[in-house]
A and B are shown apart, each in its own frame.
Chain A
Amino acid sequence: MSIFEYNGCALVAMVGKNCFAIASDRRLGVQLQTIATDFQKIYKIHEKLFIGLSGLATDAQTLYQRLVFRHKLYELREERDMKPETFASLVSALLYEKRELAKDFVVAGTASESLYGACESMFKPDMEPEELFETISQALLSSVDRDCLSGWGGHVYVVTPTEVTERILKGRMD
């Protein structure tokens, strides 16, 4: 039993033209049993910064609480939001990992292998927000349908300089 496959997750993020999109599935499971179909895996740190956490749900919740704590302290001291690059350094320091900045897309979770394939074939650089939303949604839904531990819909955030759109996807509910 791997702790990365205990709860099940699918995460994908893509960069477009002056915008980005981040999407996740909605399932919370305990191995073969589904507990909830509305579980949040993408958390908002501030208006222009989102983080998706895959793997063991309890650790994702703990890590999110620690990150929000660090960011709130930073906000109090600096009187401004953290830049994404700074936040990425914070996360990688917390995880003892070397971060890599991707210029196209990143994937994570139990469906990551399918997601790599789907994104590699569907992605184009410099997509507008609407096309980016379509692409990321199709990549997510087609990948989770091949993974029994993730799915039950999708949650997509599309962020542009002026607004943040949050949408729920209805996929195969099984």
Chain B
Amino acid sequence: MESVFGLVGKDFAIVAADSSAVHSILVHKTNEDKIMILDSHKLMGASGETGDRAQFTEYIQKNVALYQFRNGIPLTTAAAANFTRGELATALRKNPYMVNIIMAGYDKDIGPSIYFIDYIASLHKLDKAAFGYGSYFALSMMDRHYRKDMIVEEAIDLVDKIIMEIRSRLVVAPPNFVIKIVDKDGAREYAWRESIKDAPVPGV
């Protein structure tokens, strides 16, 4: 089961997600990137049905880009989160997307923020959020160790503690995680935490 979690620091936001792509009892790959970079200063970590996740996050990414093309300025994080919620809510009673989302962003005058959007389109702005079976461990660890205005090193330390907890306590624990960060310099990949590497494909 997929884990995604995120937290807000002093002037940055971090989202971490496991990176296993699973089909029934088979692990297809262990380096699947589930955190989509929406634009220069927004991240969207998603968990849920694989096809829905890939399709929906790409749909949101393209619409965020379209807004910027049409209007010349980018969407704020709150606006992007509300747009995403609207799309999920419209589809909810016709053909629901089974995707849980943690959206993180950095706005110039507001600072960092994260938004929790579950698959039935409940939206809430939070300082710390988590989805999946891993959330039982992530939320408890964050309740214990999270403080407002943590610096990057402290936040990554907490993320590593959470990953360690998930790896050791969850029966079907995902081995690998990807961590992405967004701050005033933009959204980017921060690190991978891999305990299993895929076998390298030999070159032809």
Interface residues of A (CB under 8 A from B): 7, 28, 30, 33, 35-36, 39, 56-58, 61-62
Given known pairs A33-B135, A33-B139, A36-B126, the reply for A58 and B120 (CB within 8 Å) is: yes
Task: Tell me if B122 counts as interface (CB < 8 A to partner A).
Answer: yes
- The verdict on A58 contacting B89 (CB below 8 Å), with A30-B118, A33-B135 known, is yes
Task: Report if B121 contacts A (CB, 8 A).
Answer: yes
Q: A58 near B121 (CB under 8 angstroms)? A: yes
> Which residues of B sit under 8 angstroms from A62, Cβ to Cβ?
89, 121
Give every chain A residue within 8 A of B126 (Cβ-Cβ). Answer: 35-36
**Distance A36 CA – B122 CA, assembled complex (angstroms):** 12
Given contacts A7-B122, A28-B122, A62-B121, 14 further A-B contacts (CB under 8 A): A30-B118, A33-B136, A33-B139, A35-B116, A35-B124, A36-B124, A36-B126, A58-B118, A58-B120, A58-B121, A58-B122, A61-B85, A61-B121, A61-B123
- Mostly, the A contact residues are mixed
* 8 examples of A-B residue contacts, CB within 8 angstroms: A28-B124, A35-B116, A35-B124, A35-B129, A56-B122, A61-B85, A61-B123, A62-B89
Shortest beta-carbon contacts, A-B, top 4: A57-B122, A58-B121, A58-B122, A58-B120
Contact with A along B71-99 (1 / 0, CB 8 A): 00000000000000100010010000000
Residues on A with beta carbons closer than 8 Å to the beta carbon of B135: 33
